[in-house]
């Protein structure tokens, strides 16, 4: 375990609007998170998240999934770009493609999912589809999950996870809005815990270590 003194260097991977990225920028600005976004990579050229990064002078790169005939070639291009930056954490914030894990990023890649993993997750469950599935199934609870990434979609040791109630009057939009607010909190807390060296992976579980000061007393 290492304790970070310099701001943690993060690569954000996304596919769309990038409201999660925006929230991260804002929380870094206020000092809530000791980190810096080193690069933003999108799987679509028209991802608005790229604009958000450019506006802040952060390198913004498109590696369009549709330009590659298979996941392997796409990931090779993605990793070629990623390797150009001294990144300590990769954050998948609305990244709708499979991230092929490489040894350098094991235990250093997190994903946020808008449901309570292992429910409503995996291939095909992304964005609004997740909330539609939650409403269709009639479950009373949903939530958000931040987890370390392994070789599978929406899989790997869970860092933080919180539930919220599905209301009678909920629509996909209202549910998405509440879940996304929760996601942003959990992403911020997870990244700050990672930056402080307070996350220990033990098999499929993550242990949250006490803050260094608490350990001394
Ligand atoms: C977020 O709600 C995120 O959890 C979800 O996409 C949204 C991205 O919004 N990700 C997934 O569904 C991945 N399985 P944004 O582009 O505005 O940040």
Q: Is residue 3 part of a domain?
A: no
Q: Is residue 121 part of a domain?
A: yes
CATH of the domain at 34: 3.40.50.170
Q: Domain tally for the chain? A: 1
215 has pLDDT over 80: no
Instruction: Output the pTM of the full model.
Output: 0.94
- Residue bearing the CA closest to ligand 1, atom 17: 19
Q: Is residue 217 part of a domain?
A: no
Q: Is residue 55 part of a domain?
A: yes
pLDDT at position 212 is: 81
15 or 153, which is more confident:
15
Catalytic residue among 113, 131, 147, 155: 113
- Determine whether the shortest distance from the Cβ of 113 to ligand 1 is under 6 A: yes
Mutate to test the pocket of ligand 1, among 15, 52, 93, 146 (most ligand atoms within 8 A of CB): 93
What is the 212 CA–ligand 1 centroid distance (Å)? 32
Mean pLDDT of the chain: 95
- Tell me which residue range forms the domain holding 98: 8-211
Q: Identify the H or E element spanning 80.
A: helix 71-82
153 has pLDDT over 90: no
Q: 35-42 and 60-62 as β-strands: parallel, antiparallel, unpaired?
A: parallel
What is the 126 CA–ligand 1 centroid distance (Å)? 7
Q: Is residue 2 part of a domain?
A: no
Known catalytic membership, residue 131: no
> pLDDT by residue (tens digit) across 103-139?
999 999 999 999 999 999 988 899 899 999 999 999 9
- Determine whether the shortest distance from the Cβ of 145 to ligand 1 is under 6 A: no
4 or 176, which is more confident:
176
Q: Is residue 67 part of a domain?
A: yes
- Ligand 1 atom nearest to 23, measured from its CA: 18
Q: Is residue 57 part of a domain?
A: yes
Mutate to test the pocket of ligand 1, among 12, 19, 20 (most ligand atoms within 8 A of CB): 20
Lookup result for tokens 């952060």: 58
> pLDDT by residue (tens digit) across 3-60?
557 999 999 999 999 999 999 999 999 999 999 999 999 999 999 999 999 999 999 9
CB-based contacts of 103, cutoff 8 Å, min separation 6: none
Question: What backbone torsions phi and psi does residue 47 show, to the nearest 5 degrees?
Answer: -65, 125
Q: Is residue 115 part of a domain?
A: yes
> pLDDT by residue (tens digit) across 61-76?
999 999 999 999 999 9
């Amino acid at each position: 375990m290492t304790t970070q003194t310099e701001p943690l260097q993060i690569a954000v991977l996304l596919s769309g609007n990038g409201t999660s990225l925006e929230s991260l920028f804002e929380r870094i600005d206020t000092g809530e998170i000791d980190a810096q976004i080193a690069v933003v990579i999108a799987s679509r050229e028209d991802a608005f998240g790229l604009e958000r990064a450019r506006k802040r002078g952060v390198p913004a790169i498109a590696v369009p999934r549709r330009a590659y005939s298979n996941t392997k070639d796409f990931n090779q291009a993605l990793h070629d770009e990623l390797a150009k930056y001294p990144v300590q954490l990769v954050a998948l914030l609305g990244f709708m493609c499979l991230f092929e894990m490489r040894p350098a990023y094991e235990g250093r890649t997190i994903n946020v999912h808008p449901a309570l993993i292992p429910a409503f997750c995996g291939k095909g469950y992304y964005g609004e589809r997740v909330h539609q599935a939650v409403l269709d199934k009639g479950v009373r609870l949903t939530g958000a999950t931040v987890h370390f990434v392994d070789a599978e979609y929406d899989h790997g040791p869970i860092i933080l996870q919180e539930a919220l109630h599905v209301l009678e009057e909920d629509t996909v939009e209202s549910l998405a809005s509440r879940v996304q607010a929760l996601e942003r909190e959990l992403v911020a807390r997870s990244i700050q815990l990672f930056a402080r060296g307070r996350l220990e992976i033990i098999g499929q579980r993550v242990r949250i270590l006490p803050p260094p000061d608490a350990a001394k007393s």
